[in-house]
Amino acid sequence: MASFWLASPKWLQGDCSSNMSTLHPTLSLASISPNGGNLSLASAYGVDISIMRIDQLAAELLLHVFRSCDSVADVLNLSVICRRLHRVLNSTSKLHILARAAETEFGPLEDIIQVLTQNESQPAHIIRHAPISDPLLKQVIQLGVVARKWETIYPFKKWKIDFENRRSLTNDERLRLRRAVYRLWLYHRAFHSSVYDRHSRCLRHVVLERAQLLHNWSTQELAEIEDLRLVMGDIVQNYICPSNGTIQRKFRKRYPDSSQQLSFNIHLNYPSPSTTSLSSHDHSLFQMGPEASIQQYFHTAHSRNYAESPAKFRSRFRNDLSHDPGYEGWGDEIPHYYIMQDMLKLDPGQILWLRDHALLKEQVEEFVWSLGEWFRNNGETFGDTLDYVMNERGLEVGEFRSAVAGRDMGIVLD
């Protein structure tokens, strides 16, 4: 049975329209009884109230309620209230209603579809269209959930220094952030793969192919992507691959009375394939696993087999006989710079997953090894391509990056 009840005054149905003029102008929500929706002043003003269950409403009204939902979870939860609501949703344009909710919650869907339909058979800059289907919608939600997580992370990193000015993002800023996530994800999927090794990054036809994709977007939209990249770089630098200096500083902050000298390993030693316990399949962004409140309807991005021991139960600063925090450092200055360039080839979903589930250096190394030989010693190319496009547009690269850092351009504008 339905648990929702609607109070339907007859004067709203046209039977007692004359009673509208008798309503007291000071009538407020305080006069509504909390025990079922009846108006305690109804009899005093001559308003006849009839109670109707939501499952007794006309199908047109129920569809209007479904279309008013602003999240996929709301649509699905509403559909399981009773059998009639379930039948109404499934007997009509269910995919259209879910796609509309997904557009509001995770949009823009057009940019998500570009990521999901990208393949080597056609250039990345070609705009692709795909009809909404159930499998496609599930993948849309998977990417959308990742983008929504970046909405939570972004303010903490954007106002990292002037934290007293930190605030929530507006709806327009959230949309720009999600759009930047999807477009950067598209670039990573198209050009940060085994097809493009370290020897092909500077070939002219490859550079032009990368630039064609960036030319699809305005300078302001490119600034939004660069703004997101700065936040992602901060996470990689401080949480996934911290330098020796970062480890030293955080260790002294956690153990101020300790006189221990940390032992830093200046080499990045990847484990051999025979000892690697993880595969690229384990880290697929489209693995099945429970997540959040919509887990009963859709699978999420990551497998649970490696996440059973979450990062919060481990610590790179654990100091005992079997673990020296210094081993968690990724080098300093030049070595660390090249490692950062390698790791910035990871897409937004992979960076988020490593941040949450791979706290120790050896786990990150295993993940890097699972990606293949092409990934190592092969820096990211978005930054160079962005410089190339800015020069083609006659813009000063330094001024562009300063404008992004100063919030004159980007996702958040001051």
- Over residues 236-248, the pLDDT tens digits come to 998 899 888 887 7
Q: What is the mean pLDDT of the chain?
A: 78
State how far the Cα of 371 lies from the Cα of 172, in Å rounded to an integer.
35
- Return the pLDDT at 318: 56
Q: Is residue 344 part of a domain?
A: yes
- What pLDDT score was predicted for residue 120? 87
Task: Verify that 347 and 203 share a domain, yes or no.
Answer: yes
Provide the residue range defining the domain that includes 35.
Answer: 1-56
Residue 150 and residue 34 share a domain: no
Average pLDDT over every residue of 122-128: 93
CB-based burial label for 348 (10 Å; 0-12, 13-18, 19+): buried
Omega of the bond leading into 108 within 30 degrees of 0 (cis): yes
Which residues are registered as beta bridge partners of 9? 49
Which tens digit of pLDDT belongs to each residue from 142-193? 999 999 999 999 999 999 888 898 999 999 999 999 999 999 999 999 999 9
- CB under 8 Å, gap of 24 or more: what pairs does 301-308 form? 301/142, 301/145, 301/146, 301/349, 301/353, 302/353, 302/357, 306/278, 306/282, 306/357, 307/356, 307/357
Higher-pLDDT residue of 107 and 258 is: 107
Whether residue 100 is contained in a domain is answered as no
Tell me if 235 is assigned to some domain. yes
Domain shared by 331 and 234, yes or no: yes
Q: What is the pLDDT of residues 37-63, one digit of tens each?
A: 444 444 545 545 567 787 788 888 999
Answer for the pair 383, 349: CB distance below 8 angstroms, yes or no.
Answer: no
Do 158 and 29 lie in one domain? The reply is no
What is the per-residue pLDDT across 187-241, written as a single tens digit (0 to 9) for each?
A: 999 999 999 988 898 899 999 999 999 999 999 999 999 999 999 999 999 889 9
> Is there a domain that residue 51 lies in?
yes
Residue 360 has pLDDT above 80, yes or no: yes
pLDDT score at 27: 37
Number of domains in the chain: 2
Are 177 and 31 found together in one domain?
Answer: no
Confidence of residue 264 (pLDDT cuts 50, 70, 90): low
- Report yes or no on 250 lying in a domain: yes
More confident residue, 282 or 249: 249
pLDDT of residue 314: 55
Give yes or no: residues 236 and 383 share one domain. yes
Same domain membership, residue 309 and residue 187 = yes
What band does 325 get if pLDDT is binned at 50, 70 and 90?
low
My answer on whether 25 and 154 are in the same domain is no
- Of 37, 56, 75, the one marking the end of a domain is 56
Residue 68 in domain? no
Q: What is the pTM of this model?
A: 0.77
Q: What pLDDT, on the 0 to 100 scale, is given for residue 53?
A: 82
Same domain, 22 and 165: no
Residue 255: per-residue pLDDT? 65
pLDDT at 110: 96
What are 99-111's pLDDT values in tens digits?
999 999 998 999 9
Predicted local confidence at residue 1, as pLDDT: 41
Tens of pLDDT, residue by residue over 284-303, are 333 333 343 444 344 344 44
How many C-beta neighbours within 10 Å does residue 293 have? Answer: 10
- Tens digit of pLDDT for each residue in 58-92? 888 999 999 999 999 999 999 998 899 999 998 87
Give the span between the Cα atoms of 107 and 177, in whole angstroms. 10
One domain for residues 50 and 156 = no
Residue percentage of the chain with pLDDT more than 90: 50
Round the CA-based radius of gyration of the chain to a whole number and report it.
Answer: 27
- For the chain, the residue count is 414
In a domain, 87, yes or no: no
Tell me the per-residue pLDDT of 377-404, one tens digit each, with 9 for 90 and over: 899 999 999 999 999 999 999 999 999 9
The pLDDT value given to residue 109: 96
216 and 338 belong to one structural domain: yes
Q: Note whether residue 115 is domain-resident.
A: no
Is pLDDT of 31 > 50? no
199 and 346, same domain (yes or no): yes
